[in-house]
């Protein structure tokens, strides 16, 4: 499963077991949703504080550097690129900022709308307060959304995710929502992803070992080869899915309600209570000081 291990996002770290692994998945889901929603309509200091808090959580969990480098480096690269591009893009402001009243020398402020302006290789670069805020908004939003989900997946097993979601969706049973079926479908989908990656890896290796000269084949013949490979890929996936279905039927699995499997025994411990208390403090600070009033 070299392809699965080489992916920088969405990995589950089984060892070492950190304090993030020991938290109840429902608590981790609450923290994940908080990071996702707290960035909406948040001001610049709040967004930067959320990014710093997310990095502190990842570092305090003592995640091995080999995993942290892959996860953090990938997101930082895209976040930094988005920040630079957004900062130098036009901010759509074309009108000049003029004071309403004549400003006396005694009350002149140090406010500047244009923060940086220079010329390089014949191109004019202009950084304004609006473009800088736009760069911070976009980069911190991207970093928070991706890295919070990455840390969550890094410290939470797929079975824990489905078990936590099933417990949280229990009130929906009153509305006749098939909560157990949804949890089972999600579990099978998460378990099926490694099989998909394995099939892709096998097909890529089979093409590589044959040493196909793509230049001699031409565009038409190359398209035929890829169509054959895609057909074989779909055929293998359907065969794997059928094998899983047959295995479940042979074990007497008819419906999730009649043959329900408890993947995890969820219990709220002292560490979970402390995590929920810190989450409450986070939301109090977000509501009181983190709202963007502009």
Per domain, the residue ranges of the chain are 11-93+113-156+267-294, 176-263
Number of Cβ within 10 Å of residue 91's Cβ equals 19
pLDDT for 106: 47
pLDDT for 101: 55
Three-state DSSP at 260 gives coil
Per-residue pLDDT for the chain (294 aa), expressed as one digit of tens each?
455 555 545 577 777 888 988 899 999 999 999 998 998 888 888 999 999 999 899 888 887 777 777 667 778 888 888 888 877 776 655 445 555 555 555 444 565 666 666 676 667 777 777 777 888 888 888 889 888 888 888 888 888 888 888 888 888 888 888 887 787 777 777 777 777 877 888 887 877 777 777 777 778 787 887 888 888 888 888 888 888 778 877 776 766 666 555 656 778 889 899 999 999 999 999 888 887 766
pLDDT for 1: 46
Handedness of CA 138, 139, 144, 146 (dihedral sign): positive
Q: What residues have CB less than 8 Å from 271, skipping those under 6 apart?
A: 19, 22, 23
pLDDT for 146: 87
pLDDT for 33: 92
How much is the pTM?
Answer: 0.73
Q: How far apart are the first and last CA of the chain?
A: 49
Instruction: Give bridge partners of residue 291 from the DSSP assignment.
Output: 42
Closest to 126 (Cα-Cα) out of 115, 137, 139, 112: 115
Instruction: Give bridge partners of residue 114 from the DSSP assignment.
Output: 128
pLDDT for 115: 65
pLDDT for 236: 84
Closest to 69 (Cα-Cα) out of 132, 11, 128: 11
What is the rounded distance in angstroms from the CA atom of residue 61 to the CA atom of residue 150? 14
What is the rounded distance in angstroms from the CA atom of residue 57 to the CA atom of residue 276? 14
pLDDT for 267: 82
């Amino acid at each position: 499963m070299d392809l699965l291990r080489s992916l920088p996002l969405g990995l589950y770290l089984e060892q070492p077991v950190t304090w993030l692994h020991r938290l109840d998945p429902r608590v981790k889901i609450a923290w994940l949703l908080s990071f996702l929603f707290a960035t909406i309509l948040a001001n610049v200091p709040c967004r930067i504080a959320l990014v710093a808090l997310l990095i502190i959580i990842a570092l305090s969990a003592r995640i091995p550097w080999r995993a942290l480098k892959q996860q953090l480096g990938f997101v930082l690269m895209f976040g930094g690129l988005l920040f630079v591009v957004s900062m130098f893009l036009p901010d759509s402001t074309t009108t000049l900022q003029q004071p309403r009243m004549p400003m006396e020398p005694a009350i002149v402020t140090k406010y500047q709308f244009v923060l940086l302006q220079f010329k390089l290789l014949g191109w004019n670069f202009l950084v304004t307060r609006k473009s800088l805020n736009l760069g911070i908004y976009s980069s911190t939003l991207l970093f928070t959304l991706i890295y919070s989900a990455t840390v969550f997946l890094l410290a939470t097993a797929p079975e824990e995710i489905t078990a936590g979601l099933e417990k949280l969706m229990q009130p929906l049973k009153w509305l006749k929502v098939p909560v157990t079926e949804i949890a089972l479908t999600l579990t099978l989908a998460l378990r099926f992803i490694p099989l998909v990656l394995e099939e892709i890896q096998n097909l890529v290796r089979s093409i590589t070992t044959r040493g196909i000269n793509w230049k001699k084949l031409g565009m038409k013949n190359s398209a035929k080869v890829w169509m054959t490979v895609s057909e074989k890929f779909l055929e293998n996936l359907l065969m794997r899915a059928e094998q899983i279905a047959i295995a479940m039927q042979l074990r007497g699995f008819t419906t999730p309600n009649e043959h329900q499997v408890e993947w995890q025994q969820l219990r709220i411990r002292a560490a979970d209570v402390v995590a929920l208390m810190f989450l409450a403090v986070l939301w109090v600070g977000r509501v009181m000081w983190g709202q963007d009033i502009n």
